[in-house]
Amino acid sequence: MNKLKLACIALFAACGSTSFAGGIITNTNQNIIFLRNPARDAAIGIDGVYSNPAGVAFLGNGFHLSINMQNVHQTRTVTTAYGELFKFNVNNPASADNGYARKFKGVADAPIVPSVQAAYVKDDWTFQFGFAITGGGGKCEFANGLGSFEGVVAGIPASLIAAGINNSLAPMGTQLTGGYSMDPFMRGRQYYYGFTLGSSYKINNNLSVYGGLRMLYGTANYYGYVKNISLQQSAGGQLSMVGAPTFFESLAASLNQAAGMYEAAGLHEEAAKARAQAAQMTGYAQMTQDIELNCDQTGWGVAPIIGVDFKTGRLNLAAKYEFKTRMRLKNKSANSLSAENISMLDKYADGKKVAEDSPALLTVGAQYELLPSLRVMAGYHHYFDVDTKQYTKDMLGDTNEYLFGAEFDINKYIQVSAGAQRTSYDFNDEAMNDISYNVSSWSYGLGVGVNVTEKVKINAAWFQTLYDDYDKLQANGTMNISNSFTRTNRVIGLGVDIKL
């Protein structure tokens, strides 16, 4: 029954982990120019308010503004098999053709993800502001639940049959067949709004430094339920579905009645055994009740950012360090009583504070001008995920990213660029499950910039992420449980840069 509680958490937590490009809960795609070419860590431009804030000091005097809109579509797919148990789903039986495995797919869409970067440059000083969705960024829906939950529900009749329950049910004229059904649903929404204020100073024509603060405001909502868990029974050759709580409550009543008869006959050992079985059935009845969760979470945190940029000839070098942002999200919940009675769902209890730190991030980059019209660039990102409250070294290591790209001016009006990013997570088997997972990936972006006038530039881009597959096989008694994890991610964007 503890496994059934854990499976409920899987359903309620899976929607809380979405990101676009970057570390576990960090979105680095905060400007359309990043989508065109993600290796922007040493580039000098208005997008540097996020990617290279020290380099913004080398922009010309005046006010610089970038307004961006992105459209993001993500999927999370886990292919799960619990031995052959899923073939007993009476509404959607798995087949032997795919090893009795089933795909569980979550879809996350963010129709509009806005971001703004602004900077005022006056001689050696710049004053900068940025706004973006720095974590989360969409709604995620699992219309058919998750494999970890279905596996536990499927295991209830299977384990009872293996324990010989049908021998006890025979005098009642009924038998469990192993069939089951359920009605799961989950919808989650998570946004981390980031507001950045900072200033850079140009020490000389080659060197600039930056200092700033970022405030994160996090908001999330989780709504979901697990209803109508039912078992298939056979009576008189007729198949029917019976609600699991009703079935177990009826069985508990029969066992308690039998216990009373045993006691009346002086068979105290048999009576104690029947009462223990009745208590077990009552536990199953409680655990298979409908569960509903409706939880809002809000919280905020502040962290400093520092950066440096160095120019020499055709080469530009830059680095930035974002300190860890301590985040504690407070719950405001209206959950069902059955959910409140499950201790492992305490994370969503009303009034509770939940750790959701944003990890520290170190970025370094280089850009080299091969020709006046052609630039190549590379970057490296290191996310200090282990240092966050919600993760431990037993679950994962730090995340690393490697970026490279190129930018070419076709003429004074049109610019094209393209780049790639390798994101390497360090999860182990213990941390990989359908509650929360990430898989390493390659991302590719390309796009175009058009100078409409000397003061207005339009950027358009396409960005695609191709994720690795992560396969996990574990033994559970005589049964093997297999999971294959993967994701998809596609982003398109349009933005405008303005100089005043």
Is-contact 126 200, C-beta < 8 A?
Answer: yes
Residue 148 CB partners (closer than 8 Å, separation 6+): 6, 7, 10, 80, 433, 434, 435
Residue 305 pLDDT greater than 50, yes or no: yes
The three-point CA angle 178-181-184 to 5° equals: 140
Is-contact 152 3, C-beta < 8 A?
Answer: yes
Residue 96 CB partners (closer than 8 Å, separation 6+): 87
Burial of 320 (0-12, 13-18, 19+ CB in 10 A): buried
Separation CA 114–CA 317 (nearest Å) = 28
Residue 360 CB partners (closer than 8 Å, separation 6+): 321, 322, 323, 324, 383, 384, 387
- Tokens at residue 178, please? 């192993």
- Tokens at residue 97, please? 């053709």
pLDDT at res. 304: 98
Model-level pTM?
A: 0.84
345 pLDDT tier (thresholds 50, 70, 90): low
Residue 80 pLDDT greater than 80, yes or no: yes
pLDDT per position as a tens digit, 195-213: 999 999 999 999 999 999 9
* R_g of the chain computed on alpha carbons: 28
User: Please, what is the average pLDDT of the chain?
Assistant: 88
